[in-house]
Amino acid sequence: MAYSDYSDGADDMPDFHDEGEFDDFLNDDEYELMNQVFPSLKEQLQDYQGWDNLSLKLALFDNGFDLESTLAELKITLKKKKTPKKTVAAVNGTDSVVQKLSDVSISKPIASNGLPDWLDEDEIENERNGNGSDDEERAVQRYYKTTVPTRPKKSQDVSAYIKSALPHLSFVVLGHVDAGKSTLMGRLLYDLKIVNQSQLRKLQRESETMGKSSFKFAWIMDQTSEERERGVTVSICTSHFSTERANFTIVDAPGHRDFVPNAIMGISQADMAILCVDCSINAFESGFDLDGQTKEHMLLASSLGIHNLIIAMNKMDNVNWSQQRFEEIKSKLLPYLIDIGFCKDNICWVPISGFSGEGVHKIGYTDDVEKWYNGPNLMSTLENAALKVSKENEITSKEDPFLFSVLEIIPLKKTNSELALISGKLESGSIQPGESLTIYPSEQSCIVDKIQVGSQQGQSTNHEETGVAIKGDFVTLKLRKAYPEDIQNGDLAASVDYPSVHSAQCFVLELTTFEMNRPLLPGSPFILFIGIKEQPARIKKLISLIDKSSNVLKKKVRHLGSKQRAFVEIELIEVKRWIPLLTASENDRLGRVVLRKDGRTIAAGKISEISQ
């Protein structure tokens, strides 16, 4: 039957409520044809408004799937969009528009009493005077991209450095709201004397005044008035500290369901996770069952490439340090963790009370507890984990290319020296002062002048300069020949000869869906979380259903239901600023994404192919 024959019967067609219903109406041949012509039609109508997927598909159907005649017909009826005004300093055709996420605090500043102490004298003078360049908008051609690396100022042997340096571990603290995450981290910083007695007394007085004395340790991490009044963590709080055996970066995440996007940001910065579990009667159950965040946080951690877990079995004081309760929770939690991809040998279970301190660092277990638990306390477990992670890094850091996630841009007043201070995490490889890097998506090549341990903002015991930074380190880079106004949180820096940082609108994901209320269809919109960025996107095409080993099971896919795996083409929408993309085979952590819709995590995926 000729396709035009169908259009004759169009009068008999039912009313379709959505694209999915219409797809179901098509027979297999029509469906195949539709998938061939529909993407081109959509692309050619990008400059037009007033259409949706269903109306385009109906028009194609009416025109016997003929692209040219459908286009001609639609161009008469649809209105042309107004051309958007381009902002200057657009590189790659990218509009430099302030991204939504830059408003979200990713690390709370401690009271800043001046300028970074490692600017040169003349730079400090410029900062104080606000000297420097004019307000002229910068032109595209001022960005300079090179592919020829520069040599370090004082070249150091990276292997020898890795062997001699203390290991560094970053960990995110996850768990259901009120599980005691911030209290536990506050207690840890107090035990480590990063917070002293008089500071804690002050917090105690202030929290008592507000009738919230049980939050005195949590307030070490929860510093905004909103967080203190509500008694919940909202944004992530980063802190750096050192022990004799290792350097650490804490990322305290919020447990409340409204702030899951911030928890995702925290996970994307961490090497491993502590899951804080409230062992009180019924509390574990309400955090674990139904819509509790225990499961969602663990699913996110596993999907975003975290392999090592410490389960902080917290509030054991509330259950009289009962071994039976400890084992009961473990027996419910462990099968779930294994089911979502964690390995039993990579999970440590530590009984603690963050509030009273037993099992954290300074305060030991009572004799009664030692009768059934003889493992290390939380701090020793963290140090062991740091050694394990640094052993893994030893093999990889030296050979791998330099990749760096920008987490903060430290604001400077105007200078005329093309200077930028950026804090972030080394995701791969190493860097030394004197070496060059390119920042994406603005594609500006800069020279690293100095490297400082930790971040300028956030609480830290160590702001020393270093001659080398390696994978896993959190550092602040002082850059020359940089344009900080075109660097944003979530940008990516790579060695100048790194071949493949893309900024594409479409890419292919190897996707795993979770429990969903509605199936995913071509055109289904969602929010894509990638690193510390979030971006509206939609399903462009369901390519094939696959099994656990990524073997193709079925090529023609109309819907994707809960707990299925598929190759899926994704299209970014409402792009305000291009996102630098890497495939999961280029970098396992940076190539992972999470999909959320209506406040729920619906799927996770690895980028397998990026369209040019």
Ligand X SMILES: Nc1nc2c(ncn2[C@@H]2O[C@H](COP(=O)(O)OP(=O)(O)OP(=O)(O)O)[C@@H](O)[C@H]2O)c(=O)[nH]1
In the complex, which residues of this chain contact ligand X (CB under 6 A)? 175, 177-183, 214-215, 218, 232-233, 254-256, 276, 314-315, 317-318, 353-355
From the CB of 228, what's the least distance to ligand X, in Å?
A: 10
CA distance 501 to 422: 19
Whose Cβ is closer to ligand X: residue 178's or residue 486's?
A: 178
CB nearer to Mg ion: pick between 182 and 280:
182
- Print the binding letters for residues 491-520 with Mg ion: x by CB under 5 A, - otherwise: ------------------------------
Residue 314's binding partner, choosing from Mg ion, ligand X, none, with beta-carbon cut-off 5 to 8 A by kind?
Answer: ligand X
Residue closer to Mg ion (CB basis): 233 or 294: 233
From Mg ion, ligand X, none, interface partner of 214 (C-beta below 5 to 8 A by class): ligand X
Residue 182 Cβ, how far from ligand X at the closest point, in Å? 3
Q: Do 16 and 54 contact (CB within 8 A), yes or no?
A: yes
Of residues 463, 404, 431, the one with CA closest to residue 155: 431
Q: Which of the 8 DSSP states describes residue 358?
A: B
Rounded to whole angstroms, the Cα distance separating 129 from 535 reads: 38
Half-sphere exposure (Cβ direction) of 478: Cα atoms closer than 13 Å: 19
Tokens 């410490």 sit on residue: 310
Q: How far is the CB of 523 from Mg ion (least distance, A)?
A: 38
DSSP symbol at 210: T
Token pair of 104, please? 């979200």
Q: What are the φ and ψ backbone dihedral angles of 544, each rounded to 5 degrees?
A: -160, 150
State yes or no: residue 452 binds Mg ion (CB under 5 A): no
Q: Which is nearer to ligand X, 177 or 520 (CB)?
A: 177
Q: How many residues bind Mg ion (CB under 5 A)?
A: 3
Three-state DSSP string of 235-285: CCEEEEEECCCCEEEEEECCCCHHHHHHHHHHHHCCCEEEEEEECCCCHHH
| Residue 233 touching Mg ion (CB under 5 A) | yes
Closer Cβ to ligand X, 382 or 528, answer by number? 382
Q: Which residue has the tokens 């062997």?
A: 163
Q: Which stretch binds Mg ion (CB under 5 A): 83-91, 226-234, 264-272, 391-399?
A: 226-234
Closest residue to ligand X: CB criterion: 255
Closer residue to Mg ion, CB minimum distance, 61 or 248: 248
Closest approach, Cβ 218 to ligand X, in A, equals 4
CB 494 within 8 A of CB 426: no
Helix (H, G, I), strand (E, B) or coil at 410: strand
- 239 near Mg ion (CB under 5 A): no
Q: Which does 512 bind (CB under 5 to 8 A by kind): ligand X, Mg ion, none?
A: none
> Residue 78 carries which DSSP code?
S
> Would you count residue 181 as binding Mg ion (CB under 5 A)?
yes
CA separation for the pair 51, 46 (Å, rounded): 10
Paired tokens of 527 = 């929010």
Tell me whether residue 108 or residue 181 sits nearer to Mg ion (CB atom). 181
The distance of closest approach from Cβ of residue 222 to Mg ion in the complex, given in angstroms and rounded to an integer, is 6
User: Residue 118 in contact with residue 126, Cβ under 8 Å?
Assistant: no
Q: Cβ closer to ligand X: 189 or 431?
A: 189
The site for Mg ion (CB under 5 A) is made up of 181-182, 233
